[in-house]
Amino acid sequence: MYLENAKTIVIKIGSSILIDENKKIREKWLSEFSKDIQNLKKRGKNIILVSSGAIALGCKALGLNKKNLKLEKSQAIASIGQIELMNLFKKKFNSRKINISQILLTLEDTEKRRRAINAKRTFENLFNIGFVPIVNENDSIATSEIKYGDNDRLASRVSQISGADCLILLSDVDGLFSKNPKLFKNAKLISKIENIDDKIEKVSMKSGSEFGTGGMKTKIDAAKVCQLSGCYMAIANGKINRPIKKIINENKCTWFIPKISKLDARKKWIISSISPKGYIVIDDGALNALKNGKSLLAAGIKKVSGQFIKGDHIRVLDKNMNEFARGLSSFTSDEISKIKGQHSNKISNLLGYVSKSEVIHKDDMVRI
């Protein structure tokens, strides 16, 4: 139900899903998985894939064993494996006429506000032209991400900044169990979790895979992010063919239920932790436009105060200096000084480069 109602879906594929125990690429699985993606796109869904596997594929190409690799060698091997990984996806997805793109991210990219906003815009533009972004952890420059297996958390951050409705973590187990199912036959699958309490925290299973670096602990960490982002999250078995179809038909997985709505999460993210760096004063026309849910354009700005950069949190005041909203600026304070009161079609000439027209996008604004 949660998956069917979702508009934007993020799916994380672990390296243990792409490569089997004999170090062979599971090409048949990926071909079948492409049918799942094709089906979701036919239903009008926006899809983002977060894929592990660069280091594993790099090791395969070089005939190396991934175990006990030093960090600096892992980084070099990752740069080789990235090409192998994208070629693999392109080969399988092209047969289904699915266009893909690659986005390389680290956790730092998703946690810095300005970078996160840029990533969000990139996802939106790719959706608009019908592409499926494939996000890879930038293992060639990452440090702790490789060591601690943060692709689960990376996927949750991607879900957060893209405004996804649902995140699916494909693993080598059906979900979160009351005990380790590989050790205990009486282990029971937990179908729904609304609160991650101490009991859930203590449930820990290692992947038991040479190729994967994450375990159940990182998936629970990812669930915490999703619960506070208004995003549903599932842990499901990705080893089987057509795993997404199986989730839709049988719902055999563990669902983590969000604690707040996406809208509330977005508002909280915009105004949390960072004090406003400045403010802008708008005219009555712009005020009426904002009341009707529009973005803020330069033409309606009368004054700018403070020193801030793109992505900074600023206040929006009416002509009587009453605070109306807060939002994330698409321009620096110096740039706004140059374009305030001007029509959008003049911005490029005034700044000397082609830019977006919204000073604060409606999705980046919270009415106070």
CATH assignment at residue 231: 3.40.1160.10
**Six-digit token string for 29:** 């699985």
Parallel/antiparallel/unpaired status of strands 358-360 and 296-297? antiparallel
Contact 3, 234 (CB under 8 A): yes
| pLDDT of amino acid 271 | 64
Specify the pLDDT at position 75.
82
Tokens representing 24?
């062979």
Same domain flag for 190 and 288: no
CATH code, domain carrying 327: 2.30.130.10
pLDDT (tens place) for every residue of the chain, 368 residues total:
799 999 999 999 988 898 888 878 899 999 999 999 999 999 999 999 999 888 888 888 888 877 777 777 888 888 898 999 999 999 999 999 999 999 998 777 776 777 888 899 899 999 999 999 999 877 667 655 444 356 888 899 899 999 999 999 998 889 998 887 778 888 889 999 999 988 888 775 443 343 444 578 889 989 998 998 899 999 999 999 999 999 999 999 999 999 888 877 777 777 654 578 899 999 999 999 999 999 999 999 999 999 999 888 899 999 999 999 999 899 999 999 999 999 999 999 999 987 888 999 998 898 88
Instruction: Specify the 3-state DSSP secondary structure of 46.
Output: strand
Note the pLDDT of residue 36: 97
Within this chain, do residues 286 and 260 fall inside the same structural domain, yes or no?
no
What 3-state class would DSSP assign to 278?
strand
Helix segments in 95-133, DSSP class H: 107-111, 113-128
pLDDT at position 147: 41
Tokens linked to 186:
């009486």
Tokens 């030093």 belong to 70
Whether residues 237 and 118 share a domain: the answer is yes
CA nearest neighbour of 23 among 182, 208, 209, 206? 209
- Tally of domains in the chain: 2
pLDDT at 297: 96
Beta-strand relationship, 46-51 and 192-193 = unpaired
Cα 239 to Cα 170: distance, rounded to the nearest angstrom: 8
Check whether residue 300 and residue 257 sit in a common domain: no
pLDDT at 335: 96
CA angle, corner 207, sides to 246 and 70, nearest 5?
A: 130
Beta bridge partners of residue 103, listed in sequence order? 135
Answer yes or no: do 127 and 246 share one domain.
Answer: yes
Q: Are 247 and 296 within one domain?
A: no
List the domain range (segments joined by +) for residue 174: 2-267
Is 220 in the same domain as 349? Answer: no
The enclosing H or E element of 33 equals: helix 27-42
Residue 193: strand pairing partners: 256
What are the phi and psi torsion angles at 324 (to 5°)? -105, -40
